[in-house]
Chains A and B, each alone.
Chain A
Amino acid sequence: MNSKSFISLIIMMLALVLVSCEPEEIVIDEGLLIGKWQSQAGSKSEYYRYDADYTGARWNTAEDISEAEAQRFEWTLVKDDLTHYHIMTTGGNKVPKFYKVTELSATTLKYKDDFNKEFHYVKVSE
C-alpha cells in the first residue's frame, strides 16, 4: 500500500467514522403523546394529559387534586425536544420546562431534563 493509497484509506475511514458519529435523527410521532399518562415515580400519583390542541393538564392525586382541578400547560414536541409551558393563573406567566424525549410509544413515555433527571410515564388512556 502506497502512501497515496494509505492516505486515501485513512480519509475514507475517517469519513466513515465521521459519518457514523453524526447523531442519529430521532423521529417521534407526536400523535402518540396524546392521552393520559401516569408517572411511574414514587406513589405513581402524578398524571399528565396531552391534548391534541397542544394544551394539557397535570395533577397529583396524592395531593387530593382531581383531573377537573388540574393545572393547565401548553406543550410542543419538536423532534425529541419536549417543552412544557406551565401557565400561571395569575398574570398569565408561563414557566417553561425543557426535556429530551428518550422513548415514546403507545404505552411508554420517557424523557430527561438538562441535568439528566429521568421521567417515566405509562399511558393509562387515550
Chain B
Amino acid sequence: MKSALKLLAITFASLVVVLMIGVAVVVWWVFTPEKITPVVQRQLNEMLVCETKVDRVELTFFSTFPEFALHLHGLSLVNPVEGAPSDTLVRAASACATVDVKEFFRNNAVVVRELLLSDASVVVYTNAAGESNYAVMPPSPEADTSAFELPVARLEIEKIDFHNVRLSYTDQPTKLQANLDKVQARMTVSGRGDLLKGKLHLATPAMEVIYDSIAYIASIPAHLSTDYSFEMNRFVLQLTDAEVKLNELPLELSVKIENHSKSDDLLMDIAFASEGKLPVKPVLGLIPREYAGYLEGMALDGKVSFEGSLKGVVSESALPVLLVKVGFDNSKFGYEGLPYKLDEMSGKVDVVLDLMDEDSWRIVVDDFHARTMNSQISGRGVVDDLTGDLRFDLKARGILSLADARPVLPDEMDIDLKGIARGNLNLKCRLSQLMNADFDRIRADGQFAISDFNAVYDTIRLSTRSAELNFKMPNPSASAPRFAQLHLKSGRLDIEQGTAAEATLTGASLGVSVSNLMDSTVARAFDVEGTIDGLRAVAGEEQLQTGAMKLVAAVAEDKTASGRSLKWIPEGSVRLKEGVVRLSGIEPDLEIPAISFDFTPDGIAINDSRLVIGYSDFQLVGTLTNLDDYLNNRGLLTGKFDFTSSTTDVNYLMKLVDGFGYGDSVAETAGLSVSAHDIRQVQESGSSGPFMVPKGVDITLNVKVDEAFVSTDVLSDVRGILTVKNGMLGLESVLFTASAARMQLNALYHSPRRNHLFLGLDFHLTHIEIEELLLMIPDVDTIMPMLRSFGGRGEFHIAAETYLDSTYRFKPSTLLGVASVSGEDLVLMDGETFSEIAKILMFNKKTENRIDSLAAEFTIFQQEVDIYPFQIVMDKYKAVLSGKHNLDMNFNYHISVTDSPLPFPIGVDVSGKLDDLKIRPAKPRYARLYRPAQRREIDRRQLEIKAMIRERLTKGVK
C-alpha cells in the first residue's frame, strides 16, 4: 500500500511537471507576446469602433497562478469627441484580467479572478450634443428592445483593482463633472441576470465634484467603502452601508438612484450623515468656494453633526431636494467687526434646498442657544431667499447682561450700564435692509423685563429695580408715526446727578411712537403718551413732589421751517396733580394742586393751573399764541390769561422775587429774606441787574384777587389788568379795597436800558383814613408831610413818574408828579408844630380841632413839591396854606388867616428843616376873606393848574 501511494505521488508529480512544462511551452513558446499581441489587437479592433492600441500582450500563468491571465501593456482607446478635454478614453500602462476558464466551460460562468488597472487614465465625456466618447461598441444592426440579460449564467469578478488611476467624468447635459486622481480602488462584482452587486473600496487623495461650474467637492481626499448593487434593466444603483471619508471626515452614506423606465428620469434618494460630532473647521472646508464668501470674516469652532438627504427626480425639468440637518454643540462663533463672540453655541439647523426652485431654499433654525460675555440668547427662525436677498424670520429670547452693550457704544460715550434684560425679540427682515439700515421695512417686536438696571453717564445715574420695555416695528397704530412703537413701564425709576440732584418716578408708564428718526430725508415725528403716579425730585434743599401726571404729545418735524421757526412742531397736553415744591430759604412749600395745559405749534392753552404757597393761592387760565411770528420777529408773542386768586400774599410773593439780581449788600439793606444761595445763583448766572421787561411779547393778565395781603393792609376785591407788552409792564385800572378805601392804580414800567428805567403810576384812593394812607404808602408823607397832622377820612390822587437807575434809585431830575388830597370833617392832630403855629395865629384854646374841609393840590418836579393855595376851615377860623418843600424835608410854607374872630389879618411863615423849623409871624399873603376860587389875577393860573390837576387825576377813577 505504501508503495502504491508512493507510486501515485510520483505519478502526480510527474504529471504536474509535464503540465507545467506544457504550460511553459504554451506561454513562452506558443502564446508569446509577439504572437498574441496582434491577435488581441485585431480582436479589439473588431470589437470596438474606436481607435485601439496595445503595445504588448502577455499571457501569464505563474504570476497569476493557478489562473491564466491576459496582461496588456500600453493599452489605449482613442475616441475623440468635440469638446472633450482629451481624445483618449482609456490609457493604461498596465491592464490585467484573470479569468476562470473552467467555470466558463463548466458552468457558463465568467469568473474573473482579478481585473487590474494600473497607472491609467480614464476620461469619460459627454458633450452638450449628447455625444459620448465611451460609445465605442459597434451599433446594433437593429434596435434591441429586449430586456438586458447577462450573456452568461453568472458573472463573478472577485477583484477589480485600480492602482494609480485617474478617473474623469464629464456630462455636459447635466452639468456634472467628477475627477478622481490617483485612485486606489478594489471592487468585487457578482452578477446574475441583470443584477450586479458587490463591494467597493475606493481612495483618492483628490476628489472633485463639480455641478454647474460650482465645485461642491473641491480636490479633497476621499475614501469610500460600500456595498453596491446595480439592476441594469431598471437602472437602479444602490449603495448601502456606505462609509465615506471626505477630507478625513467620516460620513455614512446610502444611495439609491433609479432610472425611471418611462420618463427616463432619474429617481434619486441619497441619505448621508456624519459619524458622530465632527470638528467644525474641516466641515466648513467642505463648503463650496462659491458659498464660502458667506463665511468670510467668520470664525467658527466646535463640534457639528449633520445628516441629510438628496431626494427627488432628476430630469430636464426636475431636480431633487437637498435637506441637511445640522446640529452643533459647544461651538464658538466670531465675526470680523462684530464685537461679540458667541460661546457655548448649540442648536439645530435644517437646510432645505429644492434644487429646482431656488426661491424656496431656506434654512430653518430650531432651538438655538448661545452665550456671549455674560448674556445668553436662544431662539429659532427661518432664513430663506438664500440665493437672493436673504430673508430672516427669527424669534429670539435671551437673558442679556446690559454691561455687555459696552462694545457697541461709541468710545466717546462714557457710560456704564448694568442690569439684566429678559425678553423676546421677533424679527422679520432682509439682509439688505440690515446692511443698508433700511429700518423702515424691518418688522420687529420685543418684550423685555429689565431688572437691577443701573446706568451711569458722566455724573448722571439712572436706575430701576424693574422695568418693562416693549416695542413694535412698524407701529400697528395707523394714526401714529409708523416706524416704531415703544412702551416703558416701571414701578420706580431713580435718576441722580452726582450728589447735587436726584429724582424718583413711581408708576411710570411711557409710550412712544416714532417715525424713522435716522432718516432725515422725510419729515420725522414722534408721539409720546405717558403717565406717572408720582415724581419726587431733590436738588440740594430744593424739592419737587407731584402726584399723578399725564403727558400726551405729538411732535412733527417741519421741513419747510426756516429762520427761527420751530423745526419740531409740538402738540399735546400735560396734566399734573398734587405737586409740591420746596425751595431753600422759602417757607412754606409751594403746592400745585393741579395744572393742565394744551400746547400747539403756535402756543399754549392753560386750561387750569392752581398754585398754593403760604396764604396765597392762584389759578391761571388762558392762552399763549403767535409763537411762530414771535420766533421769526414778525410779531409779538401774545398771551391772555385770567389770574384768579382767593388769597394772595403780596408781601410774601415780593420776598420771593425781590433780591434777585442784587448783591448781598443790597439784599441785606433791603431787609430781604432771600438766601445768600439765591443771590449767589443769580450772580453766578450773570443775571444781576434790574428787571428788564421782555420784548416781543404781549401778555395780559386779567387779575381777580379776593383778598391780597399788602404791607400791613389787606386788599380786597382786587381787579385789573396787568400787561407786559414789548418792553413795557403795565397795570391798568387795578381796583382794590383796603382799609375800607376803594383804590385804583395804573402803572407803567419799561426798561429802555439797564441804567435807564421808567416808572410811572397813577394812584387813586377814595374814602381812606389818612393815617392808614400814610402807613400804607409812606412816600405820601414825603410829598405831603402836613398830612400827618390830620386825622379822618379823605381821598388821595397822585400821578407820578420818574426814571430809575439800574439799582432802582430815582433819577431826581426826571421826577414829575401831580397829586391832590381832599377831606371833610378831619381832625387836626394836636402837635408841637401846630401848637406853635396856633399860638402865633392866636387861635383860641377852646377852638375845636376839627377841619371842615380840605382840598389841596400838589406838583412834584425834581426835588421840589409845590403846594398850591388851599383853604382850611376850622371852627371860626379859615386859613390858606401854600408853599413848597424839597424832598429832603426843607420847608418854605406860608399860612394866612383869612377869616377869624381877630380884628386884624395875621399870617405865619414856616421854613427850615423838619427838625429845626422856624415859625415866624408874617404879613399875610392872602387877604381877609380870601377864597382860593376868588383869587387875584396873579393867582388865576395857579387855580387853573389846580383844576387841571384835579380833573386829570380824578378822570377815569372808578
Among B842-873, those with CB < 8 Å from A are 859-861, 866
Neighbouring A residues of B859 by C-beta, 8 Å: 95-96
* Complex Cα–Cα for A124 and B945 (A): 32
Q: Are A93 and B814 in contact (CB under 8 A)?
A: no
Q: Are A95 and B861 in contact (CB under 8 A)?
A: yes
Q: Are A91 and B758 in contact (CB under 8 A)?
A: no
Contact of A46 among B748, B813, B952 (CB under 8 A): B813
Contact of B818 among A60, A88, A98 (CB under 8 A): A88
* Complex Cα–Cα for A86 and B945 (A): 12
Q: Are A98 and B861 in contact (CB under 8 A)?
A: no
Neighbouring A residues of B803 by C-beta, 8 Å: 63, 65
* Complex Cα–Cα for A61 and B772 (A): 39
Q: Is there a chain A Cβ closer than 8 Å to B339's Cβ?
A: no
Task: Tell me the smallest distance from the CB of A49 to a CB of chain B, in Å.
Answer: 14
* Complex Cα–Cα for A88 and B748 (A): 12
Q: Are A89 and B813 in contact (CB under 8 A)?
A: no
Among B905-958, those with CB < 8 Å from A are 941, 945, 948-949, 952-953
Contact of B811 among A65, A90, A98, A115 (CB under 8 A): A65
Q: Are A90 and B762 in contact (CB under 8 A)?
A: yes
Neighbouring B residues of A86 by C-beta, 8 Å: 816, 861
Neighbouring A residues of B761 by C-beta, 8 Å: 90
Neighbouring A residues of B801 by C-beta, 8 Å: 88-90
Q: Is there a chain B Cβ closer than 8 Å to A69's Cβ?
A: yes
Q: Is there a chain A Cβ closer than 8 Å to B182's Cβ?
A: no
Q: Is there a chain A Cβ closer than 8 Å to B276's Cβ?
A: no
Q: Are A63 and B861 in contact (CB under 8 A)?
A: no
* Complex Cα–Cα for A43 and B447 (A): 81
Contact of A65 among B762, B814, B817 (CB under 8 A): B814
* Complex Cα–Cα for A63 and B860 (A): 18
Task: Tell me the smallest distance from the CB of A78 to a CB of chain B, in Å.
Answer: 11
Task: Tell me the smallest distance from the CB of A113 to a CB of chain B, in Å.
Answer: 8
Contact of A64 among B746, B756, B818 (CB under 8 A): B756
Q: Are B817 and A95 in contact (CB under 8 A)?
A: yes
Neighbouring B residues of A65 by C-beta, 8 Å: 756, 803, 811, 813-814
* Complex Cα–Cα for A64 and B852 (A): 47
Neighbouring B residues of A92 by C-beta, 8 Å: 952
Q: Is there a chain A Cβ closer than 8 Å to B752's Cβ?
A: yes
Task: Tell me the smallest distance from the CB of B364 to a CB of chain A, in Å.
Answer: 86
Task: Tell me the smallest distance from the CB of B14 to a CB of chain A, in Å.
Answer: 156
Q: Are A115 and B884 in contact (CB under 8 A)?
A: yes
Q: Is there a chain A Cβ closer than 8 Å to B760's Cβ?
A: yes
Kindly supply a per-residue 1/0 record for chain A positions 24-49, scoring 1 wherever the CB is within 8 Å of any chain B CB and 0 otherwise. 00000000000000000000001000
* Complex Cα–Cα for A64 and B814 (A): 11
Q: A60-B811, A89-B801, A90-B799 are in contact. Are A69 and B752 (CB under 8 A)?
A: yes
Neighbouring A residues of B892 by C-beta, 8 Å: 115
Task: Tell me the smallest distance from the CB of B642 to a CB of chain A, in Å.
Answer: 26
Among B781-821, those with CB < 8 Å from A are 799, 801, 803, 805, 811-814, 816-818
Among B178-217, those with CB < 8 Å from A are none
Neighbouring B residues of A69 by C-beta, 8 Å: 752, 756
* Complex Cα–Cα for A38 and B77 (A): 135
Q: Are A64 and B799 in contact (CB under 8 A)?
A: no
* Complex Cα–Cα for A46 and B861 (A): 14
Contact of B760 among A46, A90, A114 (CB under 8 A): A90
Q: A60-B813, A64-B755, A65-B813 are in contact. Are A90 and B805 (CB under 8 A)?
A: no
Q: Is there a chain B Cβ closer than 8 Å to A55's Cβ?
A: no
Task: Tell me the smallest distance from the CB of B889 to a CB of chain A, in Å.
Answer: 16
* Complex Cα–Cα for A86 and B204 (A): 121
Q: Are B952 and A91 in contact (CB under 8 A)?
A: yes
Neighbouring B residues of A60 by C-beta, 8 Å: 811, 813-814
* Complex Cα–Cα for A86 and B818 (A): 11
Neighbouring A residues of B758 by C-beta, 8 Å: 89
Residue of B nearest to A90 (CB): B760
Q: Are B813 and A64 in contact (CB under 8 A)?
A: no
Interface size band for B: 20 to 34
Kindly supply a per-residue 1/0 record for chain A positions 75-113, scoring 1 wherever the CB is within 8 Å of any chain B CB and 0 otherwise. 000000001001011111111111000000000000000
Q: Are A94 and B752 in contact (CB under 8 A)?
A: no
Q: A58-B813, A115-B892 are in contact. Are A88 and B760 (CB under 8 A)?
A: yes
Q: Is there a chain B Cβ closer than 8 Å to A59's Cβ?
A: yes
Q: Are A95 and B884 in contact (CB under 8 A)?
A: no
Q: Are B941 and A98 in contact (CB under 8 A)?
A: yes
Task: Tell me the smallest distance from the CB of B689 to a CB of chain A, in Å.
Answer: 14
Task: Tell me the smallest distance from the CB of A11 to a CB of chain B, in Å.
Answer: 30
Q: A69-B756, A90-B748, A90-B762 are in contact. Are A95 and B860 (CB under 8 A)?
A: yes
Q: Are B949 and A93 in contact (CB under 8 A)?
A: yes
Q: Are B805 and A63 in contact (CB under 8 A)?
A: yes
Neighbouring B residues of A93 by C-beta, 8 Å: 799, 816, 818, 948-949, 952-953
* Complex Cα–Cα for A60 and B814 (A): 8
Task: Tell me the smallest distance from the CB of A10 to a CB of chain B, in Å.
Answer: 29
Neighbouring B residues of A98 by C-beta, 8 Å: 941
* Complex Cα–Cα for A69 and B750 (A): 13
Q: Are B812 and A90 in contact (CB under 8 A)?
A: no
Neighbouring A residues of B756 by C-beta, 8 Å: 64-65, 69
* Complex Cα–Cα for A93 and B814 (A): 14
* Complex Cα–Cα for A88 and B755 (A): 20
Interface centre among B816, B817, B859, B953 (most CB of A within 10 A): B816
Residue of B nearest to A97 (CB): B861
* Complex Cα–Cα for A95 and B860 (A): 7
Q: A69-B752, A93-B949 are in contact. Are A63 and B746 (CB under 8 A)?
A: no
Residue of A nearest to B860 (CB): A95
Task: Tell me the smallest distance from the CB of B317 to a CB of chain A, in Å.
Answer: 99
Neighbouring A residues of B818 by C-beta, 8 Å: 88, 93, 95
Task: Tell me the smallest distance from the CB of A35 to a CB of chain B, in Å.
Answer: 20
Interface centre among A64, A86, A90 (most CB of B within 10 A): A90
Interface centre among B758, B813, B818, B941 (most CB of A within 10 A): B813
* Complex Cα–Cα for A58 and B815 (A): 12
Residue of B nearest to A92 (CB): B952
Neighbouring A residues of B752 by C-beta, 8 Å: 69
* Complex Cα–Cα for A46 and B948 (A): 28
* Complex Cα–Cα for A88 and B941 (A): 19
Task: Tell me the smallest distance from the CB of A121 to a CB of chain B, in Å.
Answer: 14
Neighbouring B residues of A96 by C-beta, 8 Å: 859, 941, 945
Task: Tell me the smallest distance from the CB of A75 to a CB of chain B, in Å.
Answer: 14
Residue of A nearest to B858 (CB): A95
Neighbouring A residues of B949 by C-beta, 8 Å: 93
Q: Are B799 and A88 in contact (CB under 8 A)?
A: yes
* Complex Cα–Cα for A97 and B945 (A): 10
Task: Tell me the smallest distance from the CB of B942 to a CB of chain A, in Å.
Answer: 8
Neighbouring B residues of A83 by C-beta, 8 Å: 941
* Complex Cα–Cα for A94 and B755 (A): 25
Task: Tell me the smallest distance from the CB of A96 to a CB of chain B, in Å.
Answer: 5
* Complex Cα–Cα for A65 and B954 (A): 32
* Complex Cα–Cα for A46 and B811 (A): 12
* Complex Cα–Cα for A91 and B816 (A): 12
Among B517-556, those with CB < 8 Å from A are none
Residue of A nearest to B882 (CB): A114
Neighbouring B residues of A94 by C-beta, 8 Å: 948
Contact of A88 among B811, B816, B866 (CB under 8 A): B816
Q: Are B814 and A89 in contact (CB under 8 A)?
A: no
* Complex Cα–Cα for A40 and B378 (A): 96
Task: Tell me the smallest distance from the CB of A28 to a CB of chain B, in Å.
Answer: 19
* Complex Cα–Cα for A114 and B893 (A): 12
* Complex Cα–Cα for A95 and B945 (A): 8
12 extra A-B contacts, CB within 8 A, seeds A63-B803, A90-B748, A91-B952: A58-B813, A63-B813, A83-B941, A88-B799, A88-B816, A89-B748, A90-B801, A91-B746, A93-B799, A95-B859, A95-B861, A97-B866
Which positions in B face A, CB cutoff 8 Å?
A: 746, 748, 752, 755-756, 758, 760-762, 799, 801, 803, 805, 811-814, 816-818, 859-861, 866, 884, 892, 941, 945, 948-949, 952-953
Show 8 A/B contacts (Cβ-Cβ < 8 Å), sorted by A. A63-B811, A65-B803, A88-B801, A90-B801, A91-B952, A94-B948, A95-B861, A97-B866
